[in-house]
A and B are shown apart, each in its own frame.
Chain A
Amino acid sequence: MRPENYRPVKHPPSHEYELYFGPNHPGIEGNYAIRVRLKGDVIIEAIADGGYLHRGFEKIMEERLWIQNVALVPRICVPDPVPMEETYSRAVEMIGGLEVPVRAQWIRVMLLEMSRICAHLFTFGGNAATIGLYTNMFWGVTMRDYFLDLFEEVTGARIYHMFITPGGVRRDLPEGFLGRLGNLLDELERRMPEFEDLFFESAVVINRASGIGIISQEQALSWGVTGPNLRACDLPIDLRRDDPYLVYPELEFDVVTVEGGDALARMMARRGEVIQSIRILRQIIARLPSIGGAIRSPLPNPLAWNLPVGEAYARTESSKGETAFYIVSDGGPRPYRVHVRGPSSMHAVQVLEKLLIGARIEDIAQIMFSLDACPPEVDR
């Protein structure tokens, strides 16, 4: 090396070190990483390092026909794919002026709430696993799987349903489906006390999760926190009520809020939402049979479907927060530009980075899971 190229390395103090946390670490949700600087086992700096899941959704969508994107959008969030389909479709409907038949709207709400339950059950499980309670993870995944069976019945697929299309849904409900959904909700209600025993009221959980990753109300609002994470700061904000879409105005449910803003509060908010989703689904089971009519409005030939020039921002209250699509059409058969507002892109980057400061190394996973961050929403 030439002497003029020599740059002395600035060494950190000997008691600080840097740890690359992820992307294969079992405590990380999805393929994601955080570079943390530690002093002892206390984090003094954290930098989110995504990109491991980058598939270029937004760019790919510009290359695909309006209908083809239906097959792409659920992949943006694996545990909670229905809001993605719904939001994309609604944005397209807004630009194209498409009406969604009432029956399709009810079916969509049903799927949205089923998906919310699935996602929350999955998160309970994941959250428990981060503090070593694997039994709860198995239970969560099991209950979710029963819901996936029902999804398979309605949509023909278990995870990526690709079922909601602009203008409606692709199939009507199979015979006797609502009865089976009711049975499963009974089972879930029966199981909820067992979840309480094992998890929500376990001393281990309460001690580990209390006071971890606290977000104040001011911070939550300024950092763009949405969804259950916001409601866990005792802020009653829910798009289903505040900016209603589909048939939510006709449904009764409470906006679940919890005080505290810590990891425990976030878990409790999700538990409360599962109960509310069951309540919504019960109303749907009662109302849906009396609602007839078509399940989709006619679409033009998808190979020659030009949407008018325009733009639309559609948003949905997903299990993670405000999921939104901003779509611009230049009048062609494909979107000119699509922007996905994945709620996790706030939760897993700016919020997580700040919450981790001062936390201990063993709490990294718990904090991330309590935010219910979904890395593909970051890497769109």
Chain B
Amino acid sequence: MSDIRPKYKGSLLRPMKALSFLFREPATLPMEPREATELYRGFHLNDWEKCIGCGTCGEICDNSAIRMVDIPGLPGDPAAGVKARRPAIDYGRCCWCALCVDICPTGSLSMSREYVHVSRDLDTYLILPDEAGMHGENFQKGWAKSEDSDLLDLTRRAMGELEAEARSDNFNEVTPGYDAQTALLEASRCIQCGMCHEACPAHMHAPEYIRAIWDGDMERAVGEIYRTNPFPHVCGRICTHRCETACSIGRRGDPVAIRWLKRFAMDQVEPEKVQEIALKNGIAKSTGKKIAVIGAGPAGLTAAFDLAKLGHKVRVYEARPEPGGMMRYGIPEYRLPYDKLDADIEVIREAGVEIKCNMRLGEKENLQNLRKGNDAVLISTGMNLGRSTRIPGSDHPQVASAVDLLARITLGEDIKAPKRIAVIGGGNVAFDIARSMARLQRRQYGAVNMTVLALEERGAMLADEAEVTEAADEGIVLVNGRGPKQVKISNGALAGLETVKCLSIFDEEGRFHPRYDESDLVLHKVDMVIEAIGQMSDTSWLGDDLTEALEWRRGRIAVDDDGRTSENWLWAAGDLVQGPDVIHAVAAGHKAAASIHSAVAAKKGAVK
């Protein structure tokens, strides 16, 4: 190829040919607006309706050009994962790489096909992009969200579960938990936006512990978890995971499996080590104050744990033989193995909390004595009574309450499950009892005949989706849109349950007021009916005087924001005051503990 070097001296005249350009079209463009290409990365556009203010654009920005700005008046909703802030972009720093667009979890960010911004006013280079664009001229979208360059991993790592045949006649745990590699991959999906932290009733530090799991540092993860939740084994299994509802990744894909990650971290660390980590800040010097907690459920034990760490002498009174409340007596063992619950409670005991079981108030001990002997009393007795449909025939002995049955199963009573059972209800409790009784049926008869009758349509059910599908796998029949009419009894024996079609559940004002089509009548031939339509509290043990003295709100004890009742020595927390789940109870327990601590600290001297 070396022949391309000219061997001659060159021409003086040939360059003159360029003069022909005088008669050609100019290559330069006139100064008028020019259409940018379809992928052009111009100025940012942001759809404020879609944007949730997660700030991930600012995290990925390599020039720190994006700052999240609080917008007064913008509605924020922590439970839905929306923050009242939007990204502001500094074009003095932006390099138009569009990584912000590619990582945006919602797809609200894009870039316009606008080339030019000229101004002598430096403030105009800092903008709060909206849909109209930098100059409000509605330039077309250029670079926008595309699957081609999406930087997020939108697919959740699947959690395995026991096959239906392997699980449906025993109470072994259904889900085995993540293995190390799966957990690492799942943890790597988190973008650390913190929506989960805001949405969690107890404000757990999910981004921090997920990052610790990703770093492979399980002990740090456990430490982060124990900052806010003394029931991590429990919540890692049966939490209603408000965090996942709020997760930014869930906007376009599957939310990060925050609950399973918590479980994974807890399962990796030895119980002794967990105790050490949970109590690493030590237990404060004894204050000499005594506090009584009534009811060893999640709210009471959380408060007891907090108060014990603060140096108070805490004694918990529990009516049942074992602590745990609904976590033990309500949730079936296949969802929450008892040894995991025991591990959580052991940490609480280790903090110095004394739990006295089989101590039903009004029998060996009463509230007035506790009041005298303690600086403060917290009641957290939960909701232990099943509500009844009160339909004709519902007082028959073969009509049972779900919470009673669940507790009896836990207590190890020998329960005879009839061959055909109907459960009334469409929530998680309905499925808990249906699946538990189905297991007993399969044990006793080798076959399941279990019908769950839910008022709601399939899409509006209150139960978790996983519960519904797993129940179906176990052979349980779900019938939607049926309301109970009456329990048929013939010759004193239960013959079946009559249901009618449910037309609507709520009235115009959103109150529970179902309407039925009485003509659409179906008789379900069953031997037993279980009611799982909700629970209520038993507060009869409070005594007439106290019941009279306390303020009540819609049938529940009225408390202030911190759980203090109208009696200044008495606090209340958990389902008794406000439900519906463990994590809300944990949050309420923390609040009550903080309130009790500040109240008793102000009191002079200890009770003698």
Contact = CB atoms under 8 A, between A and B. Distances in A.
B12 A203 contact: yes
A298 interface: yes
Contacts of A260: 5
A157 B96 contact: yes
Interface stretch (A23-31, A51-59, A300-308, A350-358): A300-308
Interface residues of B, number: 51
A257 B190 contact: no
Interface string A14-25: 000000000000
A154 interface: yes
Contacts of A68: 60, 62, 99
A91 B123 CA distance: 40
A201 B6 contact: yes
A206 B111 CA distance: 48
A367 interface: no
B11 interface: yes
Contact of A202 (B11, B148, B152, B185): B11
B59 interface: yes
A156 B9 contact: no
B250 to A, nearest CB: 14
A289 interface: no
Contact of A156 (B59, B98, B152, B153): B98
B118 interface: no
B1 interface: yes
A197 B15 contact: yes
B98 A194 contact: no
Given A197-B15, A304-B188, A70 B2 contact: no
A271 interface: yes
Interface in A189-222: 194, 196-207
B95 A71 contact: yes
Contacts of B40: 152, 156-157
Contact of B17 (A145, A198, A206): A198
A156 B17 contact: no
B39 interface: yes
A330 B463 CA distance: 46
Interface in B43-101: 56, 59-60, 62-63, 95-99
Given A68-B62, A170-B149, A202 B4 contact: no
A259 B99 contact: no
A207 B10 contact: yes
Contact of A301 (B2, B9, B18, B191): B191
Given A71-B62, A197-B15, A197-B17, A162 B36 contact: no
A170 B5 CA distance: 40
A255 B17 contact: no
A67 interface: yes
A302 B14 CA distance: 56
A369 interface: no
Interface in A25-67: 64-65, 67
Interface in B193-229: 211, 214
B10 A303 contact: no
A27 to B, nearest CB: 21
A70 B102 CA distance: 13
Contacts of B27: 142, 145
B231 interface: no
A86 to B, nearest CB: 16
Contacts of B6: 200-201, 206, 268
Contacts of A65: 60, 62
Contacts of A299: 151
Nearest to A205: B10
B189 interface: yes
Nearest to A202: B15
A67 B5 contact: no
Contacts of A145: 27
A188 interface: no
Interface in A128-159: 133, 135, 142, 145, 149, 152-157
Interface string A260-274: 100011001001100
A67 B60 contact: yes
Instruction: With a 10 A CB-CB cut-off, give which of A203, A265, A268 has the most chain B CB atoms.
Output: A203
Contacts of B143: 156
Given A206-B9, A296-B148, A302-B151, A156 B4 contact: no
A99 interface: no
Contact of B62 (A64, A135, A160, A207): A64
Contact of A70 (B17, B39, B97, B214): B97
A90 B434 CA distance: 57
Contacts of B423: none
A165 B143 CA distance: 16
B37 A152 contact: yes
A332 to B, nearest CB: 10
B254 to A, nearest CB: 13
Nearest to A146: B27
B39 to A, nearest CB: 4
Interface string A162-205: 10010000111010000000000000000000101111111111
Contact of B214 (A69, A72, A202, A304): A304
B395 interface: no
Interface of A: 64-65, 67-72, 133, 135, 142, 145, 149, 152-157, 160, 162, 165, 170-172, 174, 194, 196-207, 234, 254-260, 264-265, 268, 271-272, 295-296, 298-305
Given A255-B1, A301-B151, 15 more contacts: A64-B62, A67-B151, A142-B28, A152-B39, A155-B39, A196-B14, A199-B15, A201-B11, A203-B12, A257-B1, A300-B185, A302-B60, A303-B60, A303-B103, A304-B211
Closest 10 CB pairs between A and B? Answer: A71-B97, A206-B10, A68-B62, A203-B10, A156-B39, A170-B149, A197-B14, A156-B41, A304-B188, A142-B27
8 contacts: A133-B15, A155-B39, A197-B17, A201-B6, A203-B9, A205-B10, A301-B189, A304-B189
